[in-house]
């Protein structure tokens, strides 16, 4: 039986800031309905990978193929329209707009009001608290609720791939669980996820596959479960007790 082609394939990605190369020849393949996490120390270039894929910083070289289409040279504002969404590390909600207004902002590229209303209704069915509190200002939500709103907002454009940059950062443990449960819920509904995350053990527990990034290059790729059992990965990235 022939294996399905990857939904997202990154080849030879080189990106950085100014004259400094942060990511130096990264190759990543993400499968259909797969959750993959990139781990590594601070400064290794994890966030730069996502920004490079989404073209929010200068890319020196490399190719990004989404569902068989080369999107390497598409500007960031076009990425949403071709099926890839990016939730940055810092919260990107509009705090002085309501939850419903924030969701609507996610569908601004659709250009079809009827379709946008239908997509908003689908998202509210998926996350009932968004419907119950649709008139509440987004800035009054907890950190975890804001993160879920950000993820939900990406669904307005029905992306095939969602990239998450540190989805658990600054969240209490219970809210971290809620965020990863949301990722699994959406994976089961057909989405693929590429994440970078400092909460290494929890991210790998939630993932199918992992990549270790060191000095801007992928040094190890394996199943997430194998990485959890890898003594070197535990020692270097999860702390002495393996709980990081």
Half-sphere exposure of 168 (CA within 13 A, CB side): 25
pLDDT at 239: 63
Question: Which helix (H) or strand (E) element contains residue 104?
Answer: helix 99-106
Q: Are 48 and 70 in contact (CB under 8 A)?
A: no
Distances (CA, A) of 160 to 30, 91, 143, 201, 226: 11, 22, 25, 25, 26
DSSP 8-class letter at 140: G
pLDDT (tens place) for every residue of the chain, 244 residues total: 446 789 999 999 999 988 889 999 999 999 999 999 999 998 899 999 999 999 999 899 999 999 999 999 999 888 988 999 999 988 789 999 999 999 998 887 787 889 989 999 999 999 999 999 999 999 999 988 999 999 999 999 999 999 999 998 888 888 889 999 999 999 999 999 999 998 999 999 999 999 999 999 999 999 999 999 999 898 888 864 434 4
CATH 3.40.50.300 fits 8-237, yes or no: yes
Which positions ≥6 away from 238 have C-beta within 8 Å?
200, 201, 244
Domain locations in the chain?
8-237
Query: b or e along 5-35 (b: 16 or more beta carbons within 10 Å of the residue's beta carbon)?
Result: ebbbbbeebbbbeeeebbbbebebbbbebbb
pLDDT at 160: 96
pTM: 0.91
């Amino acid at each position: 039986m022939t294996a399905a082609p990857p939904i997202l394939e990154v080849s030879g990605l080189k990106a950085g800031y100014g004259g400094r190369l942060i990511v130096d020849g990264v190759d990543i393949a993400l499968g259909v309905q797969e959750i993959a996490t990139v781990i590594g120390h601070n400064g290794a270039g994890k966030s730069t990978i996502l920004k490079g894929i989404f073209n929010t910083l200068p890319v020196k070289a490399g190719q990004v193929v989404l569902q068989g289409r080369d999107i390497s040279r598409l500007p960031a504002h076009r990425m949403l329209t071709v099926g890839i969404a990016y939730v940055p590390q810092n919260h990107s909600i509009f705090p002085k707009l309501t939850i419903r207004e924030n969701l609507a902002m996610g569908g601004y590229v659709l250009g079809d009001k009827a379709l946008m209303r239908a997509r908003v209704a689908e998202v509210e069915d998926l996350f009932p608290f968004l419907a119950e509190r649709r008139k509440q200002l987004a800035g009054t939500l907890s950190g975890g609720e804001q993160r879920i709103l950000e993820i939900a907002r990406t669904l307005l454009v029905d992306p095939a791939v969602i990239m998450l940059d540190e989805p658990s950062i600054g969240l209490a443990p219970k809210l971290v669980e809620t965020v990863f449960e949301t990722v699994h819920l959406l994976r089961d509904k057909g989405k693929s996820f590429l994440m970078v995350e400092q909460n290494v053990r929890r991210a790998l527990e939630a993932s199918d596959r992992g990549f270790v990034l060191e000095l801007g290059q992928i040094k190890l790729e394996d199943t997430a479960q194998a990485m959890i059992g890898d003594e070197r990965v535990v020692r270097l990235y999860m702390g002495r007790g393996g709980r990081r």
